[in-house]
Amino acid sequence: MDFKNLFKNDHAISPVIGVILTVTITIILAVAIASSVFSQNVAQPSLNEQVNIKAAGIESGTAYITLEQLAGGKLNFEDSKAKLTASVKGTNSVEIYSADLGELNAGDSKKVGLLQNIETKTPVNVSKGDNVNIKITDTETNQVVCDKDIKF
């Protein structure tokens, strides 16, 4: 076999390389277009935007907040599936008695007293002008559903 003559006849190499490059570019473009089309996500509100918490005032020494479920699934406070905690002026968080809340579905709104002891229902010490950090945590996934600062 004569190797010198083998490499002299290279007329078919150019069309083969051209076809390979064309197919490669077509595949790359198809993948790029498909990934941009199929990966578009519908903007979901963040968890913090799904729950609205407002100060509802202080009555007879007990501070009240209003919880409003704006969107998303339900918040289930029954059987301690969701936990409500409050921290006044940056102090340690205190678990709030929330068993009476039941479930909050989208559109529901409930007024909650900041009571820290389940047996005695002792109110959390909140004064007018205090900043209170309210957190709602899903106890099954340990995910913070809402974390808001409110001013009384």
CATH number of the domain within which 85 lies:
2.60.40.10
Q: What is the mean pLDDT of residues 28-45?
A: 73
What total number of domains does the chain contain?
2
Q: Does the structure show a pLDDT above 70 at 6?
A: no
87 shares its domain with 135: yes
Residues whose CB falls within 8 Å of the CB of residue 44, separated by 6 or more in sequence, listed in order: none
Instruction: Enter the pTM of the model.
Output: 0.58
Identify the CA nearest to 47 among candidates 149, 136, 150, 141.
136
64 shares its domain with 124: yes
Question: 46, 70 in Cβ contact below 8 A?
Answer: no
Q: Does the structure show a pLDDT above 50 at 145?
A: yes
72 shares its domain with 143: yes
Structure tokens at 99: 């068993």
70 shares its domain with 145: yes
26 shares its domain with 96: no
Domain housing 7 = 3-38
20 shares its domain with 51: no
Q: Which regions of 10-152 does DSSP assign to beta strands (E)?
A: 51-59, 62-69, 75-76, 82-88, 94-95, 103-104, 109-113, 131-138, 143-151
90-110 residue pLDDT tens: 778 788 777 677 777 778 888
